[in-house]
Chains A and B, each alone.
Chain A
């Protein structure tokens, strides 16, 4: 019997939906084994259709995107009810991703920036989104962005922003066989195309942003460019590295690490060599956008209630 599959697009960029198409002809093979029962992006189903399905009738439901609105939350709960296996698909669903950085601000600050202060926004009447208008009901914009796991129980995670093809292929195969454990346990360096260029000892004298230094083709970290590879789960086979871009960490941490950013910061700080504290501080301060660099994908997971309020 064909496996019943659902895919939902929460708060995200749409890249995850595209990534599923990105497995190309493999998708055709898959179609022999699966039946798509719900995929708003690609097929015409309505929420009512989903509601009408018997509980646990979907074999595997993929949820991509984060939970930013009341509607996202509602569908997450609904899918949980209807599916045997619920999968957090991609970085937004599993750890909040780039949009999770919004948890550094509150709802009012976000609305202010997006609808009022943004230079490219023309909003003379200062109209802000409202939930209830005379003729329209909009879902509530939640106080904080949530990951899928913060709302419902999640059975499996397909990491990545979006999940890279090799990761996805392995995951789909496993999931269709009823397995929820898949993927690698080592960090990216293990499969990095620049692995052999690692020097015997890495010592960082200063940090360079990508455009500040000519890439000589060696290990990025050894060149002083921050590469999240050592703290990031392998599986993508170094797609970005092959395109001469250091890893930004979208696959999330390795199994024993909770705080990927802290793990990488601690590693990087240790690589600064034998210098005095003042110089150390100077070098570390030269990193622009600490949170955006080390917590690009995981801020919402680590800050489910938003930023801790300063006590002062």
Chain B
């Protein structure tokens, strides 16, 4: 079989147009920059006494630039759309075939956007995101990866081959190479080529998204729980507590992150169980947070409080115990029958170290916000009412600090993704055959100058996810400032 071309059937027609549009875009960009230095043409006085502006050369070139940009976008959309419609993988081309594999994601995205835009006025801050083009683009990118991860991880849909499947003769093959010795049931091509161990780059990239999407938001959430539980009292109570906690936070922050990772995530340290003990401490914080949160709200009504606390804490406590207790580590408190699941090797360590590195920064942010908000009148009013300090912190200060915290949460997921990639890049924590993006970049970089595709594909995936999170945070910030 012939190797696939990038653009398939439509290529001969659309590629020249795309190239022309790109050339026009580049030329008009330069022209706009140069012409923008010229003064704008003076407005003309009309007969009825009004002024009419005229378009100067800079405006015309800007119009051309916009047109070219739209043309390029339209062509890309045609490529993606046609890939779904045109029958036969040979005719789709690589881009089209990849797009066709992502079909469930496209459908889910379209449904999400349609629903969100229809009801955006009723959705609060989330709905406002759809008033902002940059925020919307970011949200689209983020949701794209979330859906990809869910479909690939839970339903095994998008991937073409197994993430660990090796095919003979497919080592370092270029994108679009037909699968050597394909059985009738197999997908007949390696869409984005093969890596150094002859595995499918495309499938590994898609499978890697599940690893990233599973760890990054959850780790960030834990870091936020730790940061909030410690940062609120530090900012609100102040004094010696604040000095102590800030000193500890600065201690961790002054540490070079990579050195910390190297010290925490080596097999020797894992053997001593330090990460497991850290996990015991760090994972306790969400429980403390929820207990204090519920207790502060309902302590006037002890019966209701006890019921709610029991309802929340018993399943969570069980989850917590089965999370931290693991047969191979020193922390093994639960009998095997009660232990719901074991976190696969390495992931717990990675998770803990990422939470550990992120929590001090969150602590600092929350502490700053708490110090700012505690001078407000409503806090004074609550104090006069005789509310307890935890009620004021969690039910007065925290809800009023949510705007900056949500924005920072988005940014921090991106940062966590980068940290995960860094860990993978240095081959720490996750097993070397794990499909996550950092590890695949690390594996691909050794032959980077000869076979770049194996490293470029996960690199671009990671880039687009983090970029999406950053754009979304930016959009959220702009929209929340508008109130």
* Same assembly: no
